[in-house]
Amino acid sequence: MKRALHLTRRFFGALWPAPPPSSDDSWARSVLRPGEYDLWSRLPNHDRRHSIRVARRVEAALAGTAYGEDPRWPAVALLHDVGKLDARLGVFARVGATLAGAVGGHDMAPLWSEKRGITRRVGLYLRHPELGADHIRVCGGSDVAARWAGAHHDPSQWDGTGIPTPVVAALHAADDD
């Protein structure tokens, strides 16, 4: 139920076309490396607004802890969904892709991404974690951001990221809220 509510809020928020406020964009530029910012800035407005909300929530959750002053964690949060760029799907097509993944299974994503047209794009969308990790590495981004992007939807991979457990919990909670 919580996941459905999260996706519903994301859907309606994605319908608003405005870019993030310039102050948030400037903040993201200050947090990210130049190549990371260039990659992040290619995201659609709604994905950039979402990633800023996630990063700000991570900052708030970690404030006052041993991890609170580490600039890596907001950057990791800002970049977690950059793999969605490859699919080039609009809001409504993303709903369809999410449903296709739920019905057909994410195991079909590699096969679908070898096809053409919308089937390929759905497969790419479902593979956004691994594709995002690749993009972050190619742009010269931080390894920790690439590791989280690649693992953020699969709890069985979280221990392998090397990210401290309290930070993983903050990243997950911020993205799922």
* pLDDT tens sequence across 57-107: 999 999 999 999 999 999 999 999 999 999 999 999 999 999 999 999 889
Instruction: Please state the pTM of the whole predicted model.
Output: 0.91
Asked if residue 52 belongs to a domain, the reply is yes
Inform me whether the pLDDT recorded for 37 exceeds 80: yes
The arithmetic mean of pLDDT across residues 41-52, rounded, is: 96
What mean pLDDT do residues 120-127 have?
A: 97
Question: Residue 12 has what pLDDT?
Answer: 72
Is residue 102 in some structural domain?
yes
Comparison of pLDDT for 82 and 7, the residue scoring more: 82
User: Taking the CA of residue 57 as centre, how many other CA atoms within 13 Å lie in the half-sphere pointing to its CB?
Assistant: 18
* Mean pLDDT computed over 149-159: 96
The DSSP call for residue 81 is: T
Decide if 7 is inside a domain. Answer: no
User: Residue 177 pLDDT more than 80?
Assistant: no
Portion of the chain with pLDDT greater than 70, in percent:
93
Averaged pLDDT, 9-20: 74
Query: Do residues 113 and 124 touch, judged by C-beta distance below 8 A?
Result: yes
Residue 88 lies inside a defined structural domain of this protein: yes
* Residue found under tokens 């903050």: 170
The pLDDT value given to residue 14: 63
User: Which domain does 115 fall in, by range?
Assistant: 19-176
Instruction: Work out how many domains the chain is built from and give that number.
Output: 1
Is residue 86 assigned to a domain? yes
| pLDDT for the residue 175 | 92
Per-residue pLDDT at 16 exceeds 90: no
